Amino acid sequence: MTRHILLIIALVSFTLLNSCGITDDREAKAKEYLQQKISDQSGNALKLENFTKTNGVEQDVMGMKMYVLEWTIQTSVQNNVWKAGNPMPGMGFWSDFKTLTKRPENEYLLGKDGPHLAVGTNIRFTGNCKLQKTEQGWRAESYYINSHEIQNKDSAAAK
């Protein structure tokens, strides 16, 4: 009998803690999602070195619990690559983490912001990740890059 009471108390305690957000996995899910996107899109040329949650906002979209987690990440270049993109104003080069292992023949794809990135170059990104509440926790669904800063391009290229 006491075993059943202890089990009920444990379940109620877990439910209360979970509803208060103490067992919240949003930050871990966003980091895992970004780590996978960086690895997949860059072909392992970029590596997530540091992830920091900077802010977040809960939303209720037509009855679905959503959360937008704002982040700052630090990546490092693992292989010499080039970053191509869309040089049109407002389109940008860093809308994703895709990189090229060879310099593109069409110089237009490089523009002034599509540089060669040497091994050891660090890039700081800010952005956000949209998550949806599911029965088994939070699931990251998308990300958006707000800004990027290539931090040590000259010193890394000299190595």
Range name among 52-56, 97-101, 150-154 with the lowest pLDDT average: 150-154
Distance CA 59, CA 63 (A): 9
Q: Is the pLDDT of residue 91 over 60?
A: no
Distance CA 109, CA 90 (A): 15
Any domain includes 3: no
Other Cβ atoms less than 10 A from the Cβ of 61: the count is: 9
Q: Is 147 left (phi over 0), alpha (psi -120 to 50) or beta?
A: beta
Any domain includes 77: yes
Q: Which two three-digit tokens encode residue 126?
A: 């800010």
Any domain includes 130: yes
Any domain includes 16: no
For 18-32, the pLDDT digits (tens) are 554 445 899 999 999
Any domain includes 14: no
| pLDDT (0 to 100) of residue 24 | 86
| pLDDT (0 to 100) of residue 157 | 47
Any domain includes 15: no
pTM of the model: 0.77
Number of domains in the chain: 1
Domain of residue 80: give its range. Answer: 24-157
Q: Is the pLDDT of residue 101 over 70?
A: yes
